[in-house]
Amino acid sequence: MGGKKWFSDEIREAADRKDKAYRKALYGNTEQNWSQYKIERNGVVDRSSSNIIEFWMNINKKTILENKRIMESFEVVTLEQLKEIVGLPKKKSTEERITSDILK
């Protein structure tokens, strides 16, 4: 499957049925053909909506868990430590030419 992971085989088959119904409605131009096309179209929309919502919910859960693990690896900085960092003398870094002003 390509870039759209939420676009399942079921959705692809429904989209093919919708396209076939559209061509039939376009060339046959009967009320029955247009009604069938609308049914097929709505079926694709319903399937797509539920799949994409489920896909993004899973992605969000995964991202939250990964971020939580990353955050757990950081140390807590107390207010006193922060004041000490901000109070450092003004010095330039030799490589990046960054001063301690960015911390203030």
pLDDT by residue for the chain (104 residues), tens digit each? 455 666 667 778 888 888 999 999 999 989 999 998 888 888 887 777 666 777 777 777 777 777 777 777 778 888 888 777 777 666 655 555 656 665 55
Query: Which residues make Cβ contacts (< 8 Å) with residue 51, sequence separation at least 6?
Result: 6, 7, 8, 11
